[in-house]
Amino acid sequence: MTISTRRIALGLAAAFALGGAALAQQPQQAPAWAQGRPDSMAASPLAPHPPRLTVTPPEQVPTAALRVPEGFQVELWAHGMPGARMMALGDDGTVFVGTRVIGRVYAVKDEGGQRTHRIVAQGLRQPNGLAFRDGSLYVLAINEVYRYDGIERNPEVQPVNLTEAFNLPRDEHHGWKFAAFGPDGRLYTNVGVPCNICEFDRDAYALIVSFNPDGSDRRIEAKGIRNSVGFDWHPQTRELWATNNGRDWAGNDMPEDTLHRIRRSGEDHGFPWCAANWRDPFLSSGPANCNEFVAPAALLGPHTAALGMRFYTGEMFPEQYRNQIFIARRGSWNRETLAGYDVVVAKLDGEGRVTAVEPFLTGLLDEANNRFLGRPVDVLQLRDGSLLVSDEQNGAIYRISRAR
């Protein structure tokens, strides 16, 4: 080592030592998920469950534990995709799969009854939101938006960067997206609130918004929806329906996650003051009650993390499931007794009222030992009428079918 090199090395070492000392003197900042936690719960062991980011061998995927109603069957359809979450179906049958922490987008193809997958993109910031239209895959990664034109026929196509045109917020906390094209041809997505519970610009966060496919003409479709990571349109009325995650640290049973029916653009559903028909006492500002806001269409359980949802329009399942909503509940962390970890069906009557929320796919929650085996995140109907369910924890996709 030369003298000059040695001096540089010593200088860097001193700088790192001073930096470390300075950091050691700074108070440790609480993680974002702990915001709003009352002092009385400072010692609580409750914390988000870290996802598994390595491949789960097929023999370790808990397919045998899964339960579906009589007459249905469930199988392991695809595996080996750590962090698998939201799904979108391509024109040629490719199933595209988004992720969060691992930063990947997968493409799954069914080739003669065997599924193969490849990585379409990696190194992105939580590319959870996927939408497909006219041969193009749209990927939403926090504020970044990419369009992959003709990707099913040209797997190596380079994306068109639409980030500047969409101009979405950069906040990572609740910043991951769900995306879908509506019946009007517009691209819809969510903008989650950048906190657990706080006051914020209500025209910028806690929204469902839509755009032209090129990112122009932003329009607020619903406000006061804290964090919706799943929505779909009623096949007959074309009304938008959305799941929503309630806030944390308000107790084991408060508030519940919710299902929302959005009848017209711009409706206000109440957050941060109201959630699940409950006036949150954390904020003293705002209205005294929730009467001025649109009430949720259904309650989906406290802290269950209700995420991906789809109306069923296929013919494989019995008529009683037609135009009903399948909802994936990823499962709780901010609750001492775990809840969720399943797929439920919201039953609607002829007027669009939710009459019941019933279990459909169970078995991933071990209630006796208060532990989970998997975490369902999204559902997707294939063209044959079968239903796919993504499992983030196991990097797998299950297929639910019924013999005709």
Q: What is the CATH number of the domain that holds 177?
A: 2.120.10.30
Rounded Cα distance between 136 and 167, Å, is 20
pLDDT at 33: 96
Q: What's the pLDDT tens digit per position in 66-98?
A: 999 999 999 999 999 999 999 999 999 999 999
Could you write out the DSSP letters of every residue in 157-208?
PPPEE-HHHH------TT----EEE-TTSPEEEEE--SSSS----TTTSSEE
Is the pLDDT at 227 greater than 60? The verdict is yes
Q: Confirm if 277 and 289 have CB atoms less than 8 A apart.
A: no
In a domain, 167, yes or no: yes
Stretch 4-30: mean pLDDT, rounded? 49
pLDDT at 9: 44
Rounded Cα distance between 283 and 265, Å, is 26
In a domain, 39, yes or no: no
pLDDT at 103: 98
pTM listed for this prediction: 0.93
26 pLDDT tier (thresholds 50, 70, 90): low
In a domain, 218, yes or no: yes
Domain residues for the domain of 362 are: 66-402
23 pLDDT tier (thresholds 50, 70, 90): very low
Rounded Cα distance between 58 and 81, Å, is 11
For residues 10 and 173, the model is more confident at: 173
Stretch 261-290: mean pLDDT, rounded? 96
State CA 200 to chain mean position distance: 22
Question: Which residues are registered as beta bridge partners of 87?
Answer: 97
In a domain, 256, yes or no: yes
pLDDT at 199: 95
In a domain, 100, yes or no: yes
> Residue 34: left (phi > 0), alpha (psi -120 to 50), or beta?
alpha
Task: Give percent of the chain with pLDDT exceeding 70.
Answer: 93
Domain total in the chain: 1
Q: Confirm if 18 and 25 have CB atoms less than 8 A apart.
A: no
Residue keyed to tokens 């904020």 = 283
pLDDT at 27: 57
Q: What's the pLDDT tens digit per position in 326-350?
A: 999 999 999 999 999 999 999 999 9
Is the pLDDT at 18 greater than 80? The verdict is no
Stretch 107-118: mean pLDDT, rounded? 93
Tell me, what amino acid is at 90?
A: G
pLDDT at 233: 98
In a domain, 242, yes or no: yes
In a domain, 354, yes or no: yes
In a domain, 161, yes or no: yes
Is the pLDDT at 2 greater than 50? The verdict is no
pLDDT at 30: 83
